[in-house]
A and B are shown apart, each in its own frame.
Chain A
Amino acid sequence: MSPKPFLRIENIRKRFGSVVASDGVSLEIDEGEIHALLGENGAGKSVLMSMICGMVRPDEGEIVYKGQSVRFNSPREAIRQRIGMVHQHFMLVPNLTVAENYILGQGSALRVINDMDKVHARIRELSERYALDVRPEARIEDLSVGEQQRVEILKALFHGIDLLILDEPTAVLTPQETDRLLALMGDLVKDGKTVVFISHKLDEVMRVSNRISVMRDGRLVKTVNVADTDARGLARMMVGRDVRMELPRGPAAPGRIVLSIENLACRSETGLPALRGVSLDVRSGEIVGIAGVSGNGQTELSLALCGLLPVDSGRVVLNGQDITGLDPARINARSVAHIPEDRHKHGIVLPLSLGENTILQRYNESPFATSGMLNRRPIREHTRDLIRRFRIKSRDVDQKISELSGGNQQKLVVARELARNPDFILVNQLTRGIDIGAMEFVMEEMLKQRDNGRAILLISTELEELFAICDRILVMFHGEILGELPPDRNRLDELGLLMAGQTANVVQPPLAG
């Protein structure tokens, strides 16, 4: 280790309102290393790095860069000091070309742009040097997400960097693109640059980093050399306890088939094939899990099941009745509950009150309404009842749901959906963005529903969640169900292979598109 660190962060603090995003973090990054910043969503990784690149100003603490104390008031100042960051949400203007994006903000505002050829040449040269395949005249909106990311990285190189910060770069990439990116990080380091790699994926971090700093709840847990640790140790540091989650549960007693999906095919909102013939049954009294890397058709499956996405072919049968292609209101009315992936988009209406949100689907039913007029009292009573039963932290039934924390919003969605006594419950990401206390609570609630004879389909990218409550796990890959496994943690390797698209050791050719 060099005596003088390249970048030293000293006791950085940052609050956003009542949320402490960085709680006295100190960290050292050496020149020429790949330093991973590992932690769960919301651990404070991105905010910490945003402070280094001038996007966010720290409340307290010091940043020492190349031996000097620095304080950046804008990303531009950081760029001048040769610090670049590739954000999760790209800073690229979609209707401009690659080259136009790169020269945005450069030079005087009244400048006539007459050096485009030079800019193009420089981009081509850099693109070739790092094998990035970036065409300077391409328009951003015509590029895939993976390509846009390479454009972002090249933008940092174009502006000149010594330190590159990548924020969750692999979240949007295919496995092949990920490999390519990890190799690129190695090339950058060979060229004398330093890379900080923010991620929550253990395997990637283990593959490329020299050192790993683990963050949790806005604090630095520990910085370790990659050679001195293993995935299990890192995982424990990330979540602050043993990752295993054991909930008491009895054996399932599956009964009749409640939901049957037959050869379902549909396209995503962008028009690409998303489901390629999915068939599965869910029986009463069982929880069927769907595992898979996100983006393999899970979103489309849940949207299609609740009528939000048109079906191209195949059938959905609920309690013996064909519900394919019905509109969401009709599907709702047939005893289907839906706990959506994106609660802000499909679950709740943020500016409405808790009471109004609890009757979103039943606003026209007795006792909540009589002849088109809402009855305040039954709505309030019903909502209060749910708040009490689900221990939702709130002030009042008339307060806006946007004032609640994510966990409590999710609890309200779960409470509302379960209160409708559904036969079939469709859940996509049960525990996303909620704290551990709430997590266990909603999972136990699901088990209770199972024991009461409901049929539950649980789509999740969190394997722990699936292992903890499912009775069987189906793996989705490229819009197909690739296989079924029992929820047995000892078969994690098999599950991983299926999630990567490999069945019974036969490597599948990668599908186009």
Chain B
Amino acid sequence: MDDMMLLTFLATLAGAAWRLATPLIFASIGEIFSERAGVLNIGLEGTMLVGAFCGFATAFATDSVLLGLIAGIAGGMVFGLIFAFFTITIKADQIVVGAALNLLGLGLTAFLFRTYYVSTGKGIEIAQPINIPWLSDLPFIGEAFFRQNLIVYSTILVTILAALVLYRTSFGLTLRAVGEHPRAADVAGRNVAAYRYSAVLVGTGLAGLGGAFLTLGHSNQFVEGITSGRGFIALAVVVFARWSPIGAFFVSLLFGLFYALQLMLQAQASIVVPYQLLQALPYIMTIITLVVVRGKGAAPSKLGQPYDMR
């Protein structure tokens, strides 16, 4: 490869990385809210699938990407409500309920898709790239960062907003307290259960949005298991990012890079590695990160534990 080709390759890679990171950014930031409040929702994968399906179905019916996105968020939140009811109100085990939601999400969306849509074979209108004037004309950088669709751009906004809410509002302060020392928050007059519900709803809403992006901003179709483990990777992102939204943004980009690299290397005829191996790249990296970033250092200390008022 000569220099020009390498630069083009890198620019395309960076652009694809950001696109592929987008669902991870939404889901992991959502999960950070949930976990900061002490609720470990491993049902992200199922929740994202529901978001992806609701987004697809709504856009299919209305031809509106915006309505699709809203439906994706709403679908995620419905799943969140189920999760919150069982784990916070009933105080069931969070892992068990999360696993159940993963199975439910996979089965339910596959069933509905096969029943109503699979024979249509029709795609949907998806969010179109918006070229930012002047910047998008910059060589290489323009291609990578300024010719994305609105959903991809919005990850920056969501990240900043999440950080502000978490660190600069009374809501965020209480949320952080609720995951660490719920009794102290309770004694200070805050309703622990209400905060945990809100955190789970924010989390699953964002996970639903991340899922909806897959059908509305990336491919134009729903496919069974379209998330292909992104919900689980988002859980790893949260740990790697040490429960910080800004950290989650960059860690997601890193994982997005692995996804993009994997795709682009498959397209390179000169590389003779079995494509299955390349496909496994993001997952291998997940395992490696979890081994490297060991310990629970920054984890909320009451993560996964129901709160019992005396």
Is the A/B pair a real complex?
yes
CA distance A204 to B310 in the complex (A): 31
Could you list 26 examples of A-B contacts with CB < 8 Å? A55-B187, A56-B310, A74-B187, A74-B189, A75-B188, A76-B187, A91-B181, A91-B183, A91-B188, A93-B177, A93-B184, A93-B185, A94-B180, A96-B173, A96-B176, A96-B180, A101-B184, A104-B184, A104-B185, A105-B188, A106-B188, A108-B170, A109-B190, A110-B171, A112-B168, A112-B170
Give, as a whole number of angstroms, the nearest-CB distance from B305 to chain A: 15
Give, as a whole number of angstroms, the nearest-CB distance from A58 to chain B: 14
Residue of A nearest to B198 (CB): A109
Is the CB–CB distance between A92 and B184 below 8 Å? yes
Tell me whether A88 is interfacial, beta carbon within 8 Å.
no
Is the CB–CB distance between B170 and A91 below 8 Å? no
In the A-B complex, the 5 residue pairs with the smallest Cβ-Cβ separation, listed nearest first, are A105-B188, A76-B189, A111-B170, A91-B184, A93-B177
* CB < 8 Å neighbour of A103 from B171, B173, B310: B173
Tell me whether A30 is interfacial, beta carbon within 8 Å.
no
CA distance A108 to B174 in the complex (A): 11
Is the CB–CB distance between B171 and A109 below 8 Å? yes
Tell me whether A175 is interfacial, beta carbon within 8 Å.
no
Residue of B nearest to A77 (CB): B189
CA distance A96 to B171 in the complex (A): 14
Asked, given contacts A56-B310, A94-B181, whether A100 binds B187 with beta carbons under 8 Å apart, the answer is no
Most buried by B among A105, A107, A110, A111: A105
Specify which chain B residues have a CB less than 8 angstroms from the CB of A76 in the assembled complex. Answer: 187-189
Residue of A nearest to B184 (CB): A91
CA distance A108 to B189 in the complex (A): 11
Specify which chain B residues have a CB less than 8 angstroms from the CB of A114 in the assembled complex. Answer: 168
For the A-B complex with A105-B189, A109-B171 known, give 18 more contacts whose Cβ atoms are closer than 8 Å.
Answer: A55-B187, A56-B310, A74-B187, A92-B184, A93-B177, A94-B301, A95-B180, A96-B176, A96-B177, A101-B177, A103-B173, A104-B174, A105-B188, A109-B170, A110-B170, A111-B170, A113-B168, A113-B173
Specify which chain A residues have a CB less than 8 angstroms from the CB of B310 in the assembled complex. Answer: 55-56
Specify which chain A residues have a CB less than 8 angstroms from the CB of B300 in the assembled complex. Answer: 95
Give, as a whole number of angstroms, the nearest-CB distance from B38 to chain A: 12
CA distance A103 to B169 in the complex (A): 11
Chain A 104-127 interface 0/1 with B at a Cβ cutoff of 8 Å (1 = within): 111111111110000000000000
- Report whether over half of chain A's contact residues are helix, strand or loop; otherwise say mixed: loop
Interface residues of B in 197-227 (CB under 8 A from A): none
Give, as a whole number of angstroms, the nearest-CB distance from B280 to chain A: 36
Is the CB–CB distance between A105 and B168 below 8 Å? no
Specify which chain B residues have a CB less than 8 angstroms from the CB of A93 in the assembled complex. Answer: 176-177, 180-181, 184-185
Specify which chain A residues have a CB less than 8 angstroms from the CB of B181 in the assembled complex. Answer: 91-94
CA distance A111 to B301 in the complex (A): 25
Specify which chain A residues have a CB less than 8 angstroms from the CB of B170 in the assembled complex. Answer: 103, 106-113
CA distance A95 to B301 in the complex (A): 9
- A positions within 8 Å CB-CB of B: 55-56, 74-76, 91-96, 100-101, 103-114
Is the CB–CB distance between A91 and B187 below 8 Å? yes
Specify which chain B residues have a CB less than 8 angstroms from the CB of A91 in the assembled complex. Answer: 181, 183-184, 187-188
Asked, given contacts A56-B310, A93-B181, A93-B185, whether A105 binds B174 with beta carbons under 8 Å apart, the answer is yes
Is the CB–CB distance between B187 and A75 below 8 Å? yes
CA distance A74 to B176 in the complex (A): 21
CA distance A58 to B207 in the complex (A): 45
Most buried by B among A94, A95, A96, A103: A95
CA distance A104 to B181 in the complex (A): 12
Give, as a whole number of angstroms, the nearest-CB distance from A509 to chain B: 37
Give, as a whole number of angstroms, the nearest-CB distance from A108 to chain B: 7
CA distance A103 to B190 in the complex (A): 12
Most buried by B among A55, A103, A113, A114: A113
Give, as a whole number of angstroms, the nearest-CB distance from B36 to chain A: 10
CA distance A94 to B182 in the complex (A): 11
CA distance A101 to B173 in the complex (A): 9
Is the CB–CB distance between A104 and B177 below 8 Å? yes
Specify which chain B residues have a CB less than 8 angstroms from the CB of A100 in the assembled complex. Answer: 173
Specify which chain A residues have a CB less than 8 angstroms from the CB of B180 in the assembled complex. Answer: 93-96
CA distance A55 to B310 in the complex (A): 9
Is the CB–CB distance between B189 and A111 below 8 Å? no
Is the CB–CB distance between B190 and A105 below 8 Å? yes
Specify which chain B residues have a CB less than 8 angstroms from the CB of A104 in the assembled complex. Answer: 173-174, 177, 184-185, 188, 190
CA distance A109 to B194 in the complex (A): 11
Asked, given contacts A91-B184, A93-B181, A105-B189, whether A112 binds B173 with beta carbons under 8 Å apart, the answer is no
Give, as a whole number of angstroms, the nearest-CB distance from A197 to chain B: 21
CA distance A75 to B173 in the complex (A): 19
Is the CB–CB distance between A110 and B169 below 8 Å? yes
* CB < 8 Å neighbour of B185 from A74, A103, A105: A105
CA distance A467 to B77 in the complex (A): 65
Residue of A nearest to B178 (CB): A93
Specify which chain B residues have a CB less than 8 angstroms from the CB of A107 in the assembled complex. Answer: 170
CA distance A168 to B184 in the complex (A): 19
Asked, given contacts A56-B310, A104-B184, A105-B189, whether A112 binds B169 with beta carbons under 8 Å apart, the answer is yes
Give, as a whole number of angstroms, the nearest-CB distance from B122 to chain A: 43
Chain B 276-303 interface 0/1 with A at a Cβ cutoff of 8 Å (1 = within): 0000000000000000000000001100
Specify which chain A residues have a CB less than 8 angstroms from the CB of B188 in the assembled complex. Answer: 75-76, 91, 104-106
CA distance A103 to B185 in the complex (A): 11
Give, as a whole number of angstroms, the nearest-CB distance from B185 to chain A: 6
Specify which chain A residues have a CB less than 8 angstroms from the CB of B168 in the assembled complex. Answer: 112-114
Residue of B nearest to A114 (CB): B168
Most buried by A among B168, B176, B187: B187
Specify which chain B residues have a CB less than 8 angstroms from the CB of A96 in the assembled complex. Answer: 173, 176-177, 180
Residue of A nearest to B170 (CB): A111
Residue of A nearest to B190 (CB): A105
Give, as a whole number of angstroms, the nearest-CB distance from B167 to chain A: 9
Residue of A nearest to B183 (CB): A91
Give, as a whole number of angstroms, the nearest-CB distance from B160 to chain A: 14
CA distance A94 to B185 in the complex (A): 12
CA distance A21 to B19 in the complex (A): 62
CA distance A92 to B180 in the complex (A): 10
Specify which chain A residues have a CB less than 8 angstroms from the CB of B184 in the assembled complex. Answer: 91-93, 101, 104
Specify which chain B residues have a CB less than 8 angstroms from the CB of A103 in the assembled complex. Answer: 170, 173
CA distance A107 to B189 in the complex (A): 10
Give, as a whole number of angstroms, the nearest-CB distance from B242 to chain A: 11
Interface residues of B in 136-193 (CB under 8 A from A): 168-171, 173-174, 176-177, 180-181, 183-185, 187-190
